[in-house]
Amino acid sequence: MLSVHQDVLQIIQAKFSSFEIVKSVHLNVSILGEYWSEQHHILAVVAYHSNSALFLFSSKKPKPFHLSDLIIEAVIPIDENFECLSDPIPGEHNYLLFVVRYRKVSFEFRIKIGPESSNFASEIVKSKERFLSEESDKRWLLKYTDLYNSLENTELKSQLDDIPFIRQKMAQNQNSINRDSMLKYQLKLKEPEFTQYQEFTLFIGTWNVNGQLPSISLKPWLSSDDDPPDLYAVGFQEIDLSKEAFLFNDTPREAEWEKMVLDGVHPKAKYRTVALTRLVGIQLIVLINTKHYQYIRNIAVDTVGTGLLGKMGNKGGVAIRLELHNTSLCFVNSHLAAHVEEFERRNQDYKDINARINFRKYPTAIKDHDQVYWLGDLNYRITELTTSQVKTLLIRNEMAALLRADQLNQQKERGNVLLDYNEADITFPPTYKYDLNSDTFDTSEKARPPAWTDRILFRGKGIYQLAYRSHMELRISDHKPVSAIFKSEISVINQAKYRKVHEELLKRMDKLENEFLPQVTVDQTEVKFDLVKFREPQFRDIIIANTGQVPAEFEFIKKLDEQSYCKDWLRITPYCGTVNPGEKCDVRLEVNLESDLTELDDILVLHLNGGKDMFIIVSGKGQKSSFTTSMSALCRAPMPIMNLSEIQWKKIVALEGEVLYSIPRELWLLVDHLYKYGLAVRDLFESNSTQESFVKIRDWLDFGSTEPLPGSVETIAETLLIFLSYTKEPVIPFHLHDVAIAASSNYQSCKNIINQKLPDIHRNVFLYICMFLQELLRHSNENGYDAKTLASLFGEILLRDPIRNSKPQASRENLVSFIIF
């Protein structure tokens, strides 16, 4: 083995068990005349006792750096059917043609002449000699049997059919676990024997209705084709723009728009609702032709808010997943951040939705479905062109020039968003922004440039798009609805063939004698994070690789006397799953500090069904921040807290020393800025900032600076809400929470709590915030806020539940009442 490839050999070796030894590798192999030709390939000779096989890997990189860079594409036993030879390539003196034949199949590899090829060929000759001198045993290749289909090796398949899997004499519970796991795995491998693909027609539609009432028929949109679709996925955005919908996530418009959809579907078929989900104004409904309803199963929904505080539902996504026959489908409707310049915020919204949607049943993540359809008001605009330039290009029908300036196309090309999704060619006019009840682009004072904000994309195999269009005749909104028609291949089970395969596998497994236990390796059992800062997430990935003979079902489980499998500052994705033999699973550990912890320590228990538990140590250090410090301590700090000595810090945390300020300095700086520049800003508290913008303000407060407070007034407004949301004790201390809720219906009781029971600093802060809110109300004509809205917005912050994100939370009505009183 060349020394330069030792690191690659170690990575490849991690794909195999300790008894399967990688003897030699050859990098940068090209395959002639095959579909793999555009990928990087590696050949490896792997030995198991006296038996060997040639493995073909595809790699994401010319030289792999991680186990996840490698995928096993084919396995060729080095036995009596294995032949190899080399031929020169005309005109190429530095390369040769390395030909491998196995029965009826032939592979032709183009490899570079040199010490690497010489050593590799020598190892193949040795492997062939070992086979001729020893007894053959191909059972170690059992877990790669699905790769033999490409070799048409009927004799080997027949031999492998009789290989035992599980010893019947194993303990009953162990046998049951492995038997079920192996049965599922073998059924998966044999799916082509009992499934066939049928084409289903899918209608995907999206429309931002701009808060308008459902006053027109949707038939021109939903029934514009001659033939009825098999399935509808219809998404709306902004079905209700009222403050009540934003604050309480409750609106009668949900039922009204659902009825309009049901009334507007194709008249040549009958449909039944599969699922409906909504987050504020983002609504998604999936309908199925009634004749297919019996083949729908495993329905699940989830929602993710990416708006204010990174969780409010004025922006975000909703998703529905289901299985139609034997194919998993996922539909995602999203409304991403607005404004031309906020394309990075839109990118982040997409990533948040993609990462945080969790259906809590396998597959849990969007990306793990066979087919995914992503629709919605993605809000990407046309950049670098003025309104008049855009309109001129539209008149000239110079669509190519406009689409080159489309932010979504630009961001996709740069790999920043929806990278593995496809979108059909856009041939219709921009869908935003129109004057209401017209086909005229925005003539208001702002005169926004037309843009294709409303999009439909897809990913997965067997998806063929037939149409992509807008529907100009629907004019009640400033957006035009968009639809797409797909012919999608759905895997359908032939029940008779399935029963036959199932019975054959059961009969074989009844005769099994050998014992196969699940085995995995983890590439690191100690994960250390860098210095963790408040609301600045960090990620680490670990790789769980299956080195055993059977599928390994893993799950992170909680330790004795603990409520969860990990601490609340840690998130594991996915926390459970199944890894097939020879494959791996990337698990992401995300740490996000939202408390005053300075030492982060956790021990994760990785449990294997039917196997041994493994332990992973997670550690890191947290940086202090004014956002997680008590208000009483902040009022004693003579300077920004990151400039305090350790002795000074310990003293103020212990609430020792003189109280220097009546309210925290940080709070005053934020409110004072908003008082000067934000009172008349429309919807001041309904924008969500980028992570980078928040971090700048956080560091400005924690470290101090002679520079002006950074960030827009909307970002500073959100920072104020974050500050009040995460102080160690809320403005109304936890011990008074229930008392305050109980008193919310009586003005005098509320007043007594404020005047008599609140600690002095907390009372000062409460009254200071209330005076600021009163100033906001004096400018209500400009900023659009009323008392109820502000009380709802600040109520959950000033009067926080002792358990963050607990459900259900204290009723909003009580919170509103207490704050208004």
Please name the residue that has the structure tokens 């492997």.
Answer: 127
For 520-621, the fitting CATH number among 2.60.40.10, 3.40.50.720, 3.20.20.150, 3.30.1240.10 is 2.60.40.10
Residue type, 169: K
Using CA atoms, how far residue 288 sits from 198, 231, 296, 299, 612, in Å, is 16, 4, 9, 13, 44
Identify the H or E element spanning 525.
none
By CB atoms closer than 10 A (0-12, 13-18, 19+), residue 338 is middle
pLDDT (tens digit per residue) in 610-664:
788 999 999 999 999 999 999 999 999 999 999 999 999 999 999 998 999 999 9
Which CATH superfamily hosts domain 627-820? Rho GTPase activation protein (1.10.555.10)
Same fold yes or no, 197-493 and 520-621: no
Q: Which of 767, 677, 751 is nearest to 714 (CA)?
A: 677
Q: Quick one: average pLDDT of 315-334?
A: 96
pLDDT (tens digit per residue) in 464-488:
999 999 999 999 999 999 999 999 9
The residue ranges of every structural domain in the chain are 3-168, 197-493, 520-621, 627-820
* pLDDT score of 85 more than 90: no
State whether residue 784 is helix, strand or coil: coil
Among 156-170, 173-187, 261-275, 340-354, the range of highest mean pLDDT:
261-275
Domain 3-168 fold is PH-domain like (2.30.29)
Q: Quick one: average pLDDT of 385-402?
A: 94
* pLDDT score of 805 more than 60: no
pLDDT (tens digit per residue) in 297-311:
999 999 999 876 665
pTM over the 0.85 mark = no
Q: How many residues does the chain have?
A: 821
Q: Which of 412, 468, 470, 409 is nearest to 439 (CA)?
A: 470
Average pLDDT over the chain reads 86
The class level of CATH for 197-493 reads alpha beta
Q: Which of 505, 466, 506 is nearest to 483 (CA)?
A: 466
Identify the H or E element spanning 557.
strand 552-557
d(CA 344, CA 784): 27
